[in-house]
Amino acid sequence: MPVKVLHTSDWHLGAMLHNEDRKEEHRRFLSWLLKTIETENIDALVVSGDIFDVYAPSTAAQRLYYNFLAGVIKLKIAPEVFIIAGNHDSQHFLGAPADILSELNVHIVSTIDIEKPENLIFEIKNKNNKTTLVICAIPFLREKDLKVVNTVKPCGADSLLEQYNKTAAAFYHAVYKLAKTKNTPVLMTGHFYLDGGMKSDDYSERAREVGCLQSIPREALPDADYYALGHLHKSQTVNSKNYIRYSGSPLPMSFSEAESEKSVVIAVFDEDSAESKPAIQLKKIPVWQNLRQIKGSPDMILAELKRIKAGGENVWIEIQVTDYEGDLFNFWDTLEKEVLCDSPLELPLEPSYKILAKQDMRNRQNTSDWRGGDESAGLSDLSPASVFEKFMKDEKINAEDIDIFMNMFNELYHDVIVNENGETEI
């Protein structure tokens, strides 16, 4: 009998897009996912990190998560569930209910004991109690987990990244060696940037650790039968290997992903086949909120907005001015007066679309970089990280230090929670 594993990741429950709440999108995704698990007769669900968007998620985000787990547990034939921590997840918060949930076949893996790789090995068994698949549930590996903190210089030769890669690879090999003794296919999870992977943008997929980005060479990892990876938001294989996959995020996390098709991966292992690599199926995720980047001159942008309005589309929009000579003050003012109100574009009082961001991209080489902006667009159109990064660039801080400071900023920023009453808590 085949063993069917559904691989997903990077839910980022609680995330917002330019201050727009995405709770309803996430609720619909989790409802769709629950139905998919049931109709596809999934044996194991693997969620490869970044369940939540921040270390201490809101009560609304927690409610979505636990309601989903309750729904899975209540299924007539419930799969085993594997939740691993990503770099956006708090090890302590995510792992707190692990002992209780394990009794319900929900396995939470948020941290490791480097001396006990066997703790990360789980066996999927058939009705005859025969092991048909081994899952090595490895979470995002922080430097402190691998005991490489303060043992080497932060960057340069013999860097922290170099030491991190070496130790992480050795740990993966140790776990894999134990898993292979079961004489069944081996699925390994991971939450990191694997060389050869494609990032959607530089902000939403940044590592949260202070120091160097955790980038692991493919050749350093053991040859498992399937890698269920998380961290990169674009659905993809790595180095043309069909069995090394990022499932990608279920929702586009930035406008750079506006046109990306989102999916979950169903890996089917056939225990009666001599082939240990799984057959791969991609299950397309429905779109519940359309996103659109509109690029070009002000006239082109206004014409496209009028077309969208005429079609009655419910869409969130990012505007990027790429072609125009002169300042844009009048154009931004036109958007405020004509797009957000009515006439001469003949827009309704409550248009079906929203403009979430306005960017002047004329002097940028990479027009897919959504973080930049023009001061005339207003600080409200930029994320806090964008403002901080722009400040550092204006101060001529070198790129290497900017990366370090941005990681520190994101760590502090994500530890500030805005509760449902709009009050800020530390």
pLDDT in tens, 184-213: 999 999 999 887 777 665 445 554 333 344
3-state secondary structure of 250: coil
Q: What confidence score (pLDDT) does residue 345 get?
A: 44
| Residue with more model confidence, 104 or 409 | 104
Phi then psi for residue 103, to 5 deg, are -70, -15
Task: Say how many C-beta atoms besides its own lie within 10 A of residue 2's C-beta.
Answer: 14
**2-284 carries CATH number 3.60.21.10:** yes
Q: Is 394 exposed, middle or buried (0-12, 13-18, 19+ CB in 10 A)?
A: exposed
Residues 236-241: what's their mean pLDDT? 85
Amino acid in the structure at residue 75: L
Q: Give the whole-angstrom CA distance, residue 221 versus residue 217.
A: 7
Which two three-digit tokens encode residue 29?
């995704």
Paired with 48 in beta bridges are 84
Phi then psi for residue 32, to 5 deg, are -60, -40
pLDDT in tens, 79-100: 999 999 999 999 999 999 999 9
Instruction: State the average pLDDT for the chain.
Output: 82
Which two three-digit tokens encode residue 69?
């787990």
31-35 contacts, C-beta under 8 A, 24 or more apart = 32/285, 32/286, 33/6, 33/8, 33/68, 33/250, 33/264, 34/68, 34/71, 34/72, 34/75
Nearest CA to 315 out of 333, 286, 288 is that of 288
How is the chain split into domains, by residue range?
2-284, 290-382, 384-426
Return the sign of the alpha-carbon dihedral for residues 272, 273, 275, 278.
negative
Residue 89 · residue 51 · CB < 8 Å: yes
Q: Give the whole-angstrom CA distance, residue 313 versus residue 217.
A: 43
Residues 39-67: what's their mean pLDDT? 96
Residue 307 · residue 39 · CB < 8 Å: no
